[in-house]
Amino acid sequence: MPHTGPRHMTPDDFRRFGYAAVDWVARYLEDVERFPVVSRVRPGDIRAALPSSPPEAPEDFEAVLGDLDRVVLPGITHWQSPNFFAYFPANSSGPSILGELVSAGLGVQGMLWQTSPACTELETHVLDWLVELLGLPETFSSASAGGGVIQDSASSAALCALVAARERATAGAANRTGAPGRLTVYASTEAHSSIEKAVRIAGIGSDNLRKIPTDDRLAMRPDALAEAIDADARRGALPCMVVATAGTTSTMAFDPLRQIGEVCRERGLWLHVDAAMAGTAALCPELRAIHDGLELADSYCFNPHKWMLVNFDCDCFYVSDRGALVDSLSILPDYLRNPATETGEVIDYRDWQIPLGRRFRALKLWFVIRYYGAAGLRALVREHVALTRELADWIGSDPHLEIAAPPTLNLVCFRHVHGDRAGATLLERVNASGAAYLTPTTAHGRYALRLCVGQATTTRRHVEAAWELVRREAARVAAGS
């Protein structure tokens, strides 16, 4: 008896269920503002609502979609709420969601040019567009010796940059015989945890990551950087990379790229610039000072999945010497050989990243840039920056609050004047209200609240409401009530 396959979704069913899924998402985005921002479930609640064993027989798709409301929604912390001011945003938009849908529908693997030329070429093309849109150095354009690629995250971008830097410093020896124990890497005390994670993964070791002190704005001190590198070199270490941050996660501080770049150039170190959050601001010419000196960098990344309306994952990673990156990550087994690769005329993005496989992520980026236009993307940034400046003024004028670090772009860090404990209480009350979501950090050694204005649909009304809530609760905390 021949085996017969499973019941697939017919194209007509796909249309019907697809419309229902689109309706569900549309309704979610209409309603999201009304949900408590932070999920209120307790550990185990979601699992308790699920059957302990998987279904043996097929279920109706209607039942599956229905469980989104019953099982999933209570366990969602609403990153797409306009009242989400926590962490950094992961904003999104209609065209991006639909780009992701089309990408899933095409279901191609972009590991090689050959395995879908459009997946590779659209990505190269749109990343070149972003060089123009952000005014990035021409060295990052694919027309030069460099180029861009989409990574899942700034963490992976940092790891790729580090591996390339490690190989440049060791003339490829680390890939063959292992990372020598004398490699050293530099980043400020305020750099993202992904840098230390990359240093560990790459076999360099946390002890060899020098955390360079910062100035009163929490930006890396280039003099301290130079001293640290030189001291290491004198004792026989092999300094290989500096990571400068344009917009730190904790307080949105900007390391001085030009001075750091000069330190790196003089000493032959790879400079990686992490602008995961802030890079999007460079869409606006008046904000491009955040990238001053970027032409001295060997690699750079920013995340359209944070503040440029492209849903996660979409980190744009650029190098000025693509050969250095590809040489570090390329292995060509027989089962991947193909005529296009052998001509050397094409880009095979598998050699620009850690995984082999890759989705067609350029589609959503292309959809977003076209649907909004450069003008629309700039309008988003300008609105958020303007609202943040107003908010910083309000906070600065409040008797119970004080600014904890210089506000830049779309982040304000502030403290309660009664101290760390009062700040933590304030945060807890604001978040418990469900009306806004903020997260804490430590700035200059003291507890601070962070408020980041970056969600797609956050407007004046939401910032005003969040401020009113913060102001009222800060007064209550001050009054001891």
Instruction: Write out the binding residues for a second copy, residues 130-159 only, by CB under 8 A.
Output: 130, 132-133, 152-153, 155-156, 159
CB of 390 to a second copy, least distance (A): 9
Nearer to a second copy, 242 or 377 (CB): 377
Q: Tell me which of 161, 174, 277, 436 binds a second copy, using CB under 8 A.
A: 174
In 3D, which of 480, 481, 473 has the Cα closest to residue 449?
473
**Contact (Cβ atoms closer than 8 angstroms) between residue 147 and residue 353:** no
Nearer to a second copy, 174 or 228 (CB): 174
> Which backbone phi and psi does 375 adopt, to 5 degrees?
-60, -40
Binding mask 439-478 for a second copy (x = CB under 8 A): xxxx-------x-----xx-xx------------------
Give me the residue label for tokens 């804490």: 440
Q: Tell me which of 35, 83, 85, 113 binds a second copy, using CB under 8 A.
A: 113
Query: Strands across the sheet with 238-245, in order?
Result: 147-151, 315-319, 299-302, 270-274, 238-245, 183-188, 209-212
Q: Which residues 6+ apart lie within 8 Å of 385 measured at CB?
A: 281, 284, 287, 409, 410
Tell me which stretch binds a second copy (CB under 8 A): 94-102, 254-262, 294-302, 472-480: 94-102
Does 438 help bind a second copy (rule: CB under 8 A)?
Answer: no
For a second copy (CB under 8 A), the number of binding residues is 173
CB of 234 to a second copy, least distance (A): 19
Does 249 help bind a second copy (rule: CB under 8 A)?
Answer: yes
Nearer to a second copy, 55 or 480 (CB): 55
Q: Which residues 6+ apart lie within 8 Å of 51 measured at CB?
A: none
List binders of a second copy among 253-282 (CB under 8 A).
none
Does 19 help bind a second copy (rule: CB under 8 A)?
Answer: yes
Q: How far apart are CA 239 and CA 458, in angstroms?
A: 43
Nearer to a second copy, 50 or 289 (CB): 50
**Contact (Cβ atoms closer than 8 angstroms) between residue 256 and residue 297:** no
Q: How far apart are CA 258 and CA 262, in angstroms?
A: 6
Tell me which stretch binds a second copy (CB under 8 A): 236-244, 255-263, 356-364, 470-478: 356-364
Does 419 help bind a second copy (rule: CB under 8 A)?
Answer: no
Q: How far apart are CA 107 and CA 100, in angstroms?
A: 10
List binders of a second copy among 44-63 (CB under 8 A).
44-47, 50, 53-59, 61, 63
List binders of a second copy among 282-341 (CB under 8 A).
305, 311-313, 328-329, 331-338, 340
**Contact (Cβ atoms closer than 8 angstroms) between residue 383 and residue 455:** no
Nearer to a second copy, 201 or 478 (CB): 201
In 3D, which of 192, 307, 302 has the Cα closest to residue 243?
192
Q: Tell me which of 25, 145, 224, 435 binds a second copy, using CB under 8 A.
A: 25
User: What DSSP line would sit under 244-312, residue for residue?
Assistant: EEBS-TTT--B--HHHHHHHHHHHT-EEEEE-TTGGGGGGSGGGGGGGTTGGG-SEEEE-HHHHSS--S
